[in-house]
Structure 1
Amino acid sequence: MAGQRPVGVITRGTTNPNRLRRCDRWLAGPQAWRLRRAEGAPVVVDLGYGASPVTAVELHERLRRVRPDVEVVGIEIDPARVAAARPLARPGLRFAVGGFEVPLPDARRPVVVRAFNVLRQYDEQAVADAWATTVARLAPDGLLVDGTCDELGRLAAWVAVTAHGPRTLTLSWRLRGLERPGLVAERLPKALIHRNVPGEGVHALLEALDDTWRRQAPLASYGVRQRFVGAAAALREAGWPVLGGPTRWRLGELTVAWDAVAPRR
């Protein structure tokens, strides 16, 4: 891929420390098997990390607790951002210029590519091609995480994409002070944010989640976590394909099968 022009456009680049902690916790939790199963040092890419490399640094710190030999590569399309980040490089962490084509030396293939707050700045029609380009670079059983979050990482949502297409949607909240779960709608990934309208699965999901949240109000006296766990359990009982269980729900995290929210038109 030497000499190939990076695929994509420069984003605004805004970021903050600890902004992507919710996704990192998910990668180091339910998805940790991808790192542990890898033969040799697994490669994880922070794609489009922005004007500051802090999210790539944090990702390396968190994932090496799962797999000490993990290699994190921060990839940015803007050469100036890469040059600014390189003084922070260290064993297991480096930075490179690139885009959705995910340029890595020696034909290496990443186990995970995390692209947060990147595709949100593209047209919805560009999402499928960007997913396909990146997924083609993944290792077997590799994962692309396309997500969006607010400026402080209190609300987040991401799609897990594999060689078989999108598999799940995960929503994550800072539970303390949460008014209602449906507020995460403003942070849906680009593939879904314009689909939050009547007749679409993601709209029905958020409506159902707000309804179960209201119905679990009596549990608020036991704390917001208990209320959220009750809402997630009620959502599953209502027939929604909710994955995981109370351990993740207590963290303010809810994952559903993609088929339930996939765009219908």
Structure 2
Amino acid sequence: MTPVSRQGRTGTRSSPVISLRGAALSYGDRTVWRGVDLDVRPGEFLAVLGPNGSGKTSFVRALLGRQPLSAGTLTVLGRPPRAAGPDIGYVPQQAALSAQAMLRARDLVRFGIDGHRFGPRLRTAAVRRRVDEILEAVGASAYADVPLALLSGGERRRVRIGQALATDPRVLLCDEPLLSLDLHHQRAVTELIDARRRSHDTAVVFVTHEINPVLDLVDRVLYLAGGGHRIGTPEEVLTSESLSRLYGTRVDVVRVHGRVVVVGAPDEPIAPAPPHHAHEIDGVRS
């Protein structure tokens, strides 16, 4: 993937598609995050990072209108989140298939087109063509008629992305889309999402426990931890000074062969490979 200039990729004059002011989220007496002031603009790639329990998934749920804020304001495309409807595409965490196990890949994509409608679905040639176009765009045509239960994790991810893109959304929310994927499928998934952002100026909010596969694509980072947060470019946020202030304890950030490695962040799982108990930015699911 070829890096693109972060400064030239998103116009500062364009109206934000996501806007938060003084946003806070609490569960009872526990504040998950607070004081978030953030504008996300068309074509911007925002990575949401943080340790387990920091509220990354809750942030996505708030953008979807499924989790009300405890304080502050949030608009998506100038409207309350739920009113944005099909203008938001959503790639959820990989979950058990359950009732969807025997659905074909094309069925899931079709739900992205007309699943929000009540009553019988329209069986038109135009809808079928649209489904085929989406499957081709995400590289899933070869298994369009295969039940989801028989697809690999990477193949299901492609289909989920196709479903999210079916309504031609202006905002794409991705909750841990790389979870449990090998490096080959991680690269394929990130390239699909980045291609959509480039071709349609779609804003991407990308929750991840692993920043390195998308580091060259990210415009800004929202790092959540301990009820606080940091917002800025990767170069601004992913530093020893920035994360030490956020965690309230000494945290070291180093770069090893182009990869970001964090040493000593509380509540972060430790990866066995790097020396000195170092670990890559990692937060598991929140």
TM-score of the superposed pair, with normalisation by structure 2: 0.32
Higher helix share: 1
TM-score of the superposed pair, with normalisation by structure 1: 0.34
Which structure is richer in relative contact order (CA contacts within 8 A, separation 6 or more)?
A: 2
